[in-house]
Amino acid sequence: MSSSLRVLLLKELKELLRDPKILVGMVLMPIIILPIMGGAITLSQEAVKKELASTSIAVVDRDASIASSSLVGFLRYTNQTVLSIPLGDEKQVISRLLETNATLLLEIPQSYGSNVSKGDIGILNVYAVVKSLGLAESTRGSLIEQVMSAYSYTLSIQKIQELLERSNLTRINPQNVYAPLSVNYHSVVKGKVAEAAPQAIVGLLMSQGIMLPITMIMMLTFSMQIAATSIAVEKEEKTLETLMTLPIGRLTIMIGKLAGSILVAVAGAFAYMVGFGYYMNSAMGFADRGSTSISLSSLGFSLDLGAYLLLGVTIFVTLVSGLALALSVAVFTDSVRSAQSIVGVIYVPVMVPMLILMFADLAMLPLPVQIALYALPYTHSLLASRAIFMGDYITALTSIGYITIFTVIVLYVAARIFTSERVITAKIGPPRLSFLRRYHSPS
Amino acid sequence: MTNAVEADNLVKRFGTLTALNEVSFVVHEGEIYGIIGPNGAGKTTALRIIGTLIRPTSGTVRVFDIDVTKDSSKVRGLLSYLPEEAGAYRNLSGFEYLRFMASFHTKNSKELDRMVEEGAAISGLGNRLEDRVKGYSKGMNRRLLLARALMVRPRLAILDEPTGGLDVVHALHIRQTIRDHVEKLGTTILLSSHNMLEVEYLCSRVALINQGRVVAQGPPNELKDRYRAQNLEEVFVEAMKNV
């Protein structure tokens, strides 16, 4: 690295990282705010768990039969706190329920036992006290549902067993009658067979498929914003003219800005990913995890050194093109505000393909949309990254080639602008609301 | 005598606006040459062309016999340019700013230290150089920028409105610094101003410019004699009558 470039790069880093807007907004905020959000979610989930553990179920047994006693016994067996409530009409029962700390009431109607023993449907009534609109309420509802469903299964097995015994078919397992099929799902991925249902694997890949575009979008938008800001600050603070008369090449100045923006953007994206990862872990912690023990590497999705290098090249050329694009556009503005608004417009072709490809494959889309997306270079950033994960290096290299050509063109244009006088003379101010002035100006 | 700047028939158009119209002048090595005129006369455009920031539509400029359009990078090694509305990096300290700027002019650490020391002395800002630039007043900022321009001992210093918008104390400091620097090191200074009294005090020769044209040029005393005027302001008014 030439000493001028090193000096410029150090200055860029100092300037950018000492700017509270960039340091706080792009580096510190994600690393602090996202974990705080995750922590808040964990805290509320812990509170819900605690609340559920202390849930009591009130029971009104109008049937007082062996079947109803068996049901109450099952509730106790599943570690639920059961409170018996004296009989009365609905109004009286509810008012007694509200006097207790129970939030669920199970009413066993009079005909329950006889219906079940006759082989008819046994009807039960559940009342849930809704105290708030929080997550705990819906989870509490599903808790009684799970217990009832488990009891319903136990009753079914008992019934089947009785019927089998009556028919002298005791060698048959009642569970096999209840669920006569058992399917072992397998998925074939990249020629390898994995013992898992396709939805489990797709779920696993989806998280990668979503994380990859999000990472790319974050890195690109961070770095483009930083690059645009760094050139616009030079114009706004009137430092660019002096810089341009120093005995250094203008391309060196441009490369210094690109390199400084990349470094700060990588730090920003890293901070975001750390924060986001923690947030996701906390947010997903409540969902049932461990239902699948498949790892991406066991399915052949691990990357070797060459694949990592290709991924690095993809990210690098994508970043450089985004930065050069942002610099080329921001050069025409005269303030940070105008630069940031104008760079916001470039986000559209960057984000649209990534958002579409987050949920759909290109082949699923109508042909004109496919052509439009293929034409956009940032589609290829994602296509290349996915192809690298799938081991499809031909597609990856083709896409990398396309982005590289685009990057070279953008860099050439940026270099032309930087070596021309437009870098000094071009001025696009903040958007003017000319139509408003037209209406309000005195005629 | 060597010529520091030779501007020959300079024309600069921005779309339909002609900012400079066949402007010619010569600046000798070691002199302070002033370009004076009202706002929008074309002073900054002329200085920007000489400072390699923009290109002339036609005509030529040579700095120490080097063509500014054909060999701009060589010319940048000879000059220091102080723009009219210049700023320094807000998040760097005064010292960091001087060191950053000096490091483009020398790779030798002793020479670098010498430049920064000289810059600190020229600025006269003392311990305030330890502070970040964002806390500086307009006058302090201008003193820092002038120090930056002169500490590298350029062969040609281009100063666009060096005292523009400053109070008397800062303006006096800057004028004195420019004079001392030229006397001590023989640097050539090309400055612009719309303050004609300031130019009369500083410059050995001047060019009066209006609406992109040079209306008169020469040493201030000679111009005053020529137009039978008391000062350069009266010279300007008289010269305008003859256009």
- Contact check, Cβ <8 Å, B91/A15: yes
- Contact check, Cβ <8 Å, A241/B77: no
The structural domain count of chain A equals 2
Backbone Cα Rg of chain B:
18
Please indicate if any CB of chain A lies within 8 Å of the CB of B134: no
- Contact check, Cβ <8 Å, A246/B14: no
CB < 8 Å to A243, chain B: none
Both A103 and A174 in a single domain?
yes
- Of the candidates B14, B79, B90, the beta carbon closest to that of A237 is on B90
Please indicate if any CB of chain A lies within 8 Å of the CB of B14: yes
Which residue in this structure is represented by tokens 């990349």?
A262
Instruction: Show pLDDT as tens, one digit a residue, over chain B (243 residues).
Output: 689 999 999 999 988 899 999 999 999 999 999 999 888 889 999 999 999 999 999 999 999 999 999 999 899 999 999 998 888 998 899 999 999 999 999 989 999 999 999 999 999 899 999 999 999 998 899 999 999 999 999 999 999 999 887 888 888 888 999 999 999 999 999 999 888 888 888 999 999 998 899 999 999 999 999 988 888 888 888 887 766
- Angle at which helix A393-419 crosses helix A250-284, to 10 degrees, equals 130
The three-class DSSP label of residue A373 is helix
The whole-angstrom distance between residue A122's C-alpha and the CA centroid of its chain comes to: 43
Which has more pLDDT, A412 or A271?
A412
B205: closest CA of chain A, how far (Å) = 25
How much is the pLDDT for B57?
A: 94
Please indicate if any CB of chain A lies within 8 Å of the CB of B100: yes
Residues of A with CB under 8 A from a CB of B: 3-4, 7, 11, 14-15, 18-19, 237-239, 241-242, 244-249, 421, 424-425
Give, for A412, the enclosing helix (H) or strand (E).
helix A393-419
- Contact check, Cβ <8 Å, B91/A19: yes
Which has more pLDDT, A53 or A289?
A53
Q: What is chain A's length?
A: 443
| Tens digit of each residue's pLDDT (9 = 90 or more) over A126-143 | 888 877 666 666 666 777
Which residue in this structure is represented by tokens 């039969």?
A65
Q: What is the C-alpha end-to-end distance of chain B, expressed in Å?
A: 31
Say which range, A17-31, A141-155, A249-263, has the weakest mean pLDDT: A17-31
- Contact check, Cβ <8 Å, B53/A421: yes
C-alpha A122/C-alpha A331 separation (Å) is 76
How much is the pLDDT for B12?
A: 94
B100: closest CA of chain A, how far (Å) = 7
Both A257 and A381 in a single domain?
yes
Among A178, A213, A246, which residue terminates a domain? Answer: A178
Which has more pLDDT, A247 or A4?
A247
Kindly list the strands in the beta sheet with A56-61, ordered across the sheet, starting from the edge strand earlier in the chain.
Answer: A81-84, A56-61, A104-108, A125-128
Both A68 and A18 in a single domain?
no
The model's pTM is 0.70
Q: Kindly identify which residue of chain A lies nearest to residue B75, measuring between CA atoms.
A: A247
CB < 8 Å to B162, chain A: none
C-alpha A259/C-alpha A257 separation (Å) is 6
Report the CATH number that the domain containing residue A135 is assigned in CATH.
3.40.1710.10
Residue A289 has pLDDT above 50, yes or no: no
Which has more pLDDT, A257 or B45?
B45
- Best of B45, B66, B91, B109 to substitute, by most chain A Cβ atoms within 10 angstroms, is B91
- Contact check, Cβ <8 Å, B81/A424: no
Collect contacts of B231-240 with beta carbons under 8 A, ≥24 apart. Answer: B231/B196, B231/B197, B231/B200, B232/B36, B232/B196, B232/B197, B232/B199, B232/B200, B232/B206, B232/B208, B233/B196, B233/B197, B235/B196, B235/B208, B236/B36, B236/B37, B236/B196, B236/B208, B236/B210, B239/B208, B239/B215, B240/B210, B240/B215
Cα dihedral A411, A412, A415, A420, rounded to 10, equals -150
C-alpha A243/C-alpha A234 separation (Å) is 9
Which has more pLDDT, B9 or A271?
B9
> With contact defined as beta carbons under 8 Å apart, do B157 and B82 qualify?
yes
Picking from A390, A171, A212, the residue whose alpha carbon sits closest to that of residue A299 is A390
Both A155 and A67 in a single domain?
yes
- Contact check, Cβ <8 Å, A238/B85: yes
Both A313 and A408 in a single domain?
yes
Both A28 and A58 in a single domain?
no
Among A145, A178, A211, which residue terminates a domain? Answer: A178
A370 within some domain: yes
How much is the pLDDT for A205?
A: 65
* Highest-scoring range by mean pLDDT, A103-117, A338-352, A356-370, B209-223: B209-223
The three-class DSSP label of residue A93 is helix
A190 within some domain: no
Both A272 and A408 in a single domain?
yes
> With contact defined as beta carbons under 8 Å apart, do B189 and B182 qualify?
yes
How much is the pLDDT for A138?
A: 66
User: DSSP states of A40-70 as a string?
Assistant: HHHHHHHHHHHHHHT-EEEEEESS-SHHHHH
How much is the pLDDT for A442?
A: 37
A360 within some domain: yes
Which domains are seen in chain B, by residue range? 3-89+154-241 (3.40.50.300)
CB < 8 Å to B17, chain A: none
How much is the pLDDT for B9?
A: 94
How much is the pLDDT for B236?
A: 85
C-alpha B84/C-alpha B81 separation (Å) is 10
Picking from B98, B132, B145, the residue whose alpha carbon sits closest to that of residue A20 is B132
- Contact check, Cβ <8 Å, B53/A245: yes
Residue A432 has pLDDT above 60, yes or no: no
Both A308 and A255 in a single domain?
yes
A342 within some domain: yes
- Contact check, Cβ <8 Å, A242/B145: yes
C-alpha A406/C-alpha A322 separation (Å) is 10
A187 within some domain: no
Residue A53 has pLDDT above 60, yes or no: yes
CB < 8 Å to B145, chain A: 242
- Contact check, Cβ <8 Å, A424/B85: no
| Tens digit of each residue's pLDDT (9 = 90 or more) over A290-327 | 444 555 566 656 667 787 788 888 888 888 888 888 88
CB < 8 Å to B159, chain A: none
Both A24 and A50 in a single domain?
no
How much is the pLDDT for A87?
A: 82
Please indicate if any CB of chain A lies within 8 Å of the CB of B145: yes
CB < 8 Å to B142, chain A: none
Please indicate if any CB of chain A lies within 8 Å of the CB of B76: yes
How much is the pLDDT for B212?
A: 92
A401 within some domain: yes
Please indicate if any CB of chain A lies within 8 Å of the CB of B165: no
Structure tokens at A23: 């340091």
> With contact defined as beta carbons under 8 Å apart, do A238 and A227 qualify?
no
- Contact check, Cβ <8 Å, B81/A242: yes
List the alpha helices (DSSP H) in chain B.
43-50, 72-76, 94-102, 109-123, 138-151, 168-185, 196-202, 220-226, 232-241
Both A159 and A87 in a single domain?
yes
Provide the number of CB pairs (under 8 Å) joining chain A to chain B: 73
| Tens digit of each residue's pLDDT (9 = 90 or more) over A140-161 | 677 778 888 888 898 899 889 8
Average pLDDT (A182-194) is 77
How much is the pLDDT for B56?
A: 94
Structural domain including A115 reads 46-178
How much is the pLDDT for B92?
A: 92
DSSP one-letter code for A289: -
A413 within some domain: yes
Both A27 and A104 in a single domain?
no
Both A174 and A220 in a single domain?
no
